[in-house]
Structure 1
Amino acid sequence: MAATRPGRLPGRHRRSPESQATYGEVIAIGEFRALWGGQCLSLLGDQLAQVALALLVYDRTRAPLATAAVYALTYLPPIIGGPFLAGLADKYARRHIMIVCDLARAALVGLMAVPDMPFFVLCALVFLVVLLSSPFTAARAALLPEILEGDRYVAGSALQNMTNQAVQMLGFAAGAGLIAAIGAHYGLALDAATFLASALIIALGVRRRPPPEPDGSVPVSMWAMTKSGARLVFGDRRLRVLVLFAWLCGFYVLPEGIAVPYAATFSRDPQTVTLLTGLLMAAMPTGTVIGAFFFGRCVTPTRRLRAMGWMAMLSCAPLIGCAMRPPVAVVLALWALAGFGGAYQLAANAAFVQCVPANRRAQAFGLVQSGLLGVQGIGILIGGAAAQALGPEPVVALAGAAGLSVAALLAMLWTESRAEIITRVRTQVT
C-alpha cells in the first residue's frame, strides 16, 4: 500500500514479529500526545477531588463503611448508564463525543464547587460526572487503535497507564496537602478547569474523523445496540476470558477504598493518618508504573500474552500477607508488588483489541469499562462493610486470597484460548 497508514511513522523498516515499539515513536505522534495530555490533566483533578472527599467523610463519621461508600460512588454510576451511553461513540464522531463530555463534566464539577451545595445535590452531580466518563472513555479507547498501530498500541497503552498511575500517585500523595492549603471548593474548581483544558487540547490536537461505518447487522436503538454489544463481548469465549481478566481488579483495588481506616490502625494522630493514607493510596499505582514500564518495554508481545495469567495472580497474592498485620513499610511493599502484577492489563487490553471489529469497539470497550468500574465500586463497598466488622487487615487479605483463586482459574482458561490471539498479534506487529 503506497499511502502511509494512520499512526505509522514514514521511513521505518518493516518490523520482525517479535520487535517492539519504543515510547519515543509513540510520543512523536501528535494525536497521541493530545489524548495523553488531556487525560493526564483531567485525571489529576479527579484525584484531588477523591482525596478531599475521602478525608472529609472519614473525619466526620470515623466509619469505614461511610468512607468506602462515598469512594464507591465514583465507580457505580456506569453500571446503570454506561453500557447505553458507550454506544454513542460507534454512532457519532469519537473526537466530538470526547469534547462534548469534557465540556459537560466541566460544567457539572463547576456546580459542585459552589459553597453550601446541598449534600444530595452534590451526590447527584458526582453521579452525572462519573456517568459521562463512560462515553468519553469508550470513544478514547476506540480511537486509540486508529492512531497507533501494531505494537505501538501496546507501547502507547503502557505509556498512558504509567502516566495515569503516576498522576494518581501525585494526586493521592500530595492531594491532601493541597486540599488543606486551598480548600475543598477551590479543589473542585481546579478539577473543572482540568476538564476544560482537556477539551481544548483534544479539539486542537486530534484531527476530525467521520463517524464509524455503521454495521448493518446492528439495530440503531441504544437498547438494541447495548444487547448486540453484550452478545459480541460475552458470546465469544476468548473475549469472555479477557473481560474477566479486566474485572479481576475488583479484588486488588479494594485496599484503596479502605486506605483511610487502614492508615488509622498505625496511628491515632490525624496528620499521621493523612500522610499514611496518601502513601497507601500511592503504593499500588507506584507498582503499576514500574510493572507497566517493564512489561511494555522489556517483554516481547507474545511473551506478554503468555505471562498474563502469572501476572494476574501476582496482582492479588501479595495482599494475603496483610493477614499477619505487618508494619507499614511491609504493607506498602506488598501493595506495590500487587500493583506491579496489575500490569498484565496491558496484554489483556491489546488482546481484546485484536478480537473486536473496529466499528464495534466503542460499545465493546464501554461495556467492559462499565463492568470494570462496577466491580471496583461493589468490591470497595463490600470491603468497607467487612472492614467495619473485621478490621481492614483481614479484609485486604481475604480479597487477595479470593482474587488469587479467580486469577488461577482464569490463567488455566487463558492457556486454552491464547494461541489464535498470539498469531494475530504476531501478524499485527509485522
Structure 2
Amino acid sequence: MGYGSVFAVREFRALWAGELFSQVGDQFARVALAVLVYQRTSSALLTGLVYALTYIPSFIGGVLLGGLADRHPRREVVVTVDLLRAVLTGLMAIPGLPLPVLCVLLTAMTTLGGPFKGAQLALLADVLTGDRYVLALSIRHMTIQSAQVGGFLVGGVLAQAVSPSAGLGVDALSFGAAALLVRFGVHARPAPTGADVDGRPSGRRATGGGLVMVWRHPGLRSLTALSWLAGCYIVPEGIAAPYADAVGAGTAVTVGLIMASDPIGSVVGAFVFGRFVPEHARIRALGPIALLAGVPLALCALRPGLAVSALLFAMSGALATAYHMQIGASFVQFVPASSKAEALGAMSSGLITVQGLGALAGGGLSDLFGAANTVAIAGVAGILLGLSPARTWMREARAVRSPDAAEDIREEVIPMSRDQ
C-alpha cells in the first residue's frame, strides 16, 4: 500500500490541504509576532514569552475543550474552531493593536488549538483505518515539517518586505481556507456515541476527563509520556542561535541550517518508517526508538562541528518522527470511537505545550552550562525519562492488534492491565 492509496481518498485530501494551509499560516504568524514584539519592545524576554504563547495555552484547550468533538459532529467542530481562529488572528493583524490586547487574542487563539487537534486527528481516524491511517500520519508529519521550514523562510521575507501585520493577515486567511476545505470536502458524520475506555458512557465525562482517561490507562499513559519526550528533543531548535555561536559559526545562515536539520530529518524518518517498515515491527520498535532519539543529542557533549551537529540533529529528528507516527496509530487502537477526540486532544495539546516549555528551559540552561552541554543534557534527559514508559509500552503493546482488527478495536473496551 502506497501514498497514492491515501491521496485517492477525497476526504483525506481535504483534511491534508486544510492542515497545510493553516500550518504555513501559523509559521508566518510566529515570525510576524517575533518581529512585531521585538520592534515594539526591544526585549528578547518579551519576545520569547509571546513566542511561548503560540504553544503553551494549547494544553489548557485540549484538557478543558477536547471533549467537544466527542459530543458534537467532528467536522463541524473542526470548521467552527478554524473560523474562530480566523477571526481572532484577523483582529491581531490590526496595525497598532496594544500589546496586552494582542497577547489576550493570541492566548485565546492558541487555546483553541487544543480542541482542534483532537477533533482533527479523530476525524482523520474516522476517514482512514489500518495502514492507510499510518501512511496518513506519515504524510502529515512530512507536510508539517516541510511547512515549518518553508513557512519560517517565507514568513521572514514577508514580515520584512511588507509588515508583520501582513503575516498575521495571511494566517487568518489560511484558517478560513482550511475551514472551507473541510466543510465542503469531508462528509458529515453524526456525533459519536458509546462507552469510554473504562466502560462508562462517554457523554458523562467531566470537563478534563480526557487527561484523566489517559492517565488511568497504562497503554495510553505510556504512549503519552513517550510523546511528551519531544519537550527534550526540541531543545536544539530552541537554542539554535547560541549553539551556532558555540560551534564558531554564528551567522543567520548557520542558525537557519541548525533549525532546519531536525525538520529535514523528520521528513526522511516519516517517509522511511511509514512506507517501508511493517506494522508489527513499528509497534515493537516504538519504545526503543523513542530512547534512541536522545542518543544523537547526547553526543553533542563531544562538541562536534557544524556539519556533524546538523547530521546529529537530523538523525534525532528522523527517529523522533518515526516513533511519534506509531504513537498516533497505536493510540487510536486503544481508544473507542466515542472517546478519540478528547484523548487525542489531551495527548496532542500536551505535546505542543511541552515543546514550548522545553524551548524555554533550554534557553535557561544554555546560559548556565553552554549550548552544546544543554543539548547533551536534553538528550540524556529524554532517554532517562523515557525508560519507564518504554517498559510499560512493551507490556501493553500486546493489546494492539493487526490492521485487520483495527475497526473492531476502536469499538470495543480494552480491559485495564493489572499494574493500573
Distance 1:149 1:81 in 2: 27
Distance 2:367 2:48 in 1: 10
Partner of 2:271: 293
Partner of 1:359: 338
2:168 to 180, 185, 188: 188
Partner of 2:376: 397
CA contact (8 A) 1:151 1:429 kept: no
Distance 2:175 2:394 in 1: 41
Partner of 2:411: none
1:410 to 372, 386, 389: 389
Higher mean C-alpha displacement, 373-382 vs 260-269:
260-269
Where 1:387 maps in the other structure, the secondary structure is helix
- The answer to whether 1:242 aligns with 2:223 is yes
Distance 2:245 2:160 in 1: 19
| Stretches of 4+ aligned residues off by more than 6 angstroms | none
- The answer to whether 1:98 aligns with 2:78 is yes
Partner of 2:348: 369
CA contact (8 A) 1:71 1:257 kept: no
CA contact (8 A) 2:286 2:326 kept: yes
1:340 to 308, 312, 318: 318
TM-superposed deviation, 1:193: 0.8
Distance 1:111 1:62 in 2: 23
Partner of 1:26: 6
Distance 2:32 2:238 in 1: 13
Distance 1:191 1:244 in 2: 31
CA contact (8 A) 1:320 1:398 kept: yes
Distance 1:328 1:171 in 2: 24
Distance 2:154 2:5 in 1: 31
Distance 1:267 1:48 in 2: 29
Q: Which amino acid aligns with 2:393?
A: W
Distance 1:181 1:267 in 2: 30
Partner of 1:226: 208
When the two structures are aligned, how many residues end up with a matched partner? 403
TM-superposed deviation, 1:282: 1.7
Higher mean C-alpha displacement, 298-307 vs 205-214:
205-214
Query: What does the per-residue CA deviation read over 1:47-74, in whole Å, with 9 as the maximum and x for residues that have no partner?
Result: 12223434566786574x5554333222
The 5 Å alignment of 1:182-221 reads 182-213=162-193, 215=195, 217-218=200-201, 220=203
TM-superposed deviation, 1:180: 1.9
Inter-CA distance 198–49: structure 2 relative to 1 (3 Å threshold): same
Partner of 1:15: none
TM-superposed deviation, 1:218: 3.7
TM-superposed deviation, 1:310: 2.4
Partner of 1:381: 360
Alpha-carbon RMSD: 2.4
CA contact (8 A) 2:73 2:190 kept: yes
Partner of 1:284: 262
Partner of 1:10: none
Distance 2:55 2:295 in 1: 24
Query: What does the per-residue CA deviation read over 1:375-414, in whole Å, with 9 as the maximum and x for residues that have no partner?
Result: 2222222222222333322212111111122234433332
CA contact (8 A) 1:68 1:258 kept: no
TM-score, structure 1 as length reference: 0.87
TM-superposed deviation, 1:323: 2.6
Query: What does the per-residue CA deviation read over 1:239-288, in whole Å, with 9 as the maximum and x for residues that have no partner?
Result: 1111111111111012222223334546797xx32x33332222111111
TM-score, structure 2 as length reference: 0.89
Structure 1: gaps (5+ residues): 1-20
TM-superposed deviation, 1:78: 2.4
Distance 2:382 2:266 in 1: 17
Partner of 1:161: 141
TM-superposed deviation, 1:116: 1.3
Inter-CA distance 245–268: structure 2 relative to 1 (3 Å threshold): closer
Distance 2:405 2:194 in 1: 26
TM-superposed deviation, 1:139: 0.8
CA contact (8 A) 1:319 1:334 kept: yes
CA contact (8 A) 1:103 1:196 kept: yes
TM-superposed deviation, 1:181: 2.0
Distance 1:53 1:333 in 2: 30
TM-superposed deviation, 1:331: 1.9
Where 2:129 maps in the other structure, the secondary structure is coil
CA contact (8 A) 1:173 1:279 kept: no
CA contact (8 A) 1:72 1:257 kept: no
Distance 1:312 1:200 in 2: 37
TM-superposed deviation, 1:294: 0.3
Where 1:208 maps in the other structure, the secondary structure is coil
CA contact (8 A) 2:231 2:354 kept: yes
Q: Which amino acid aligns with 1:303?
A: A
- The answer to whether 1:110 aligns with 2:68 is no
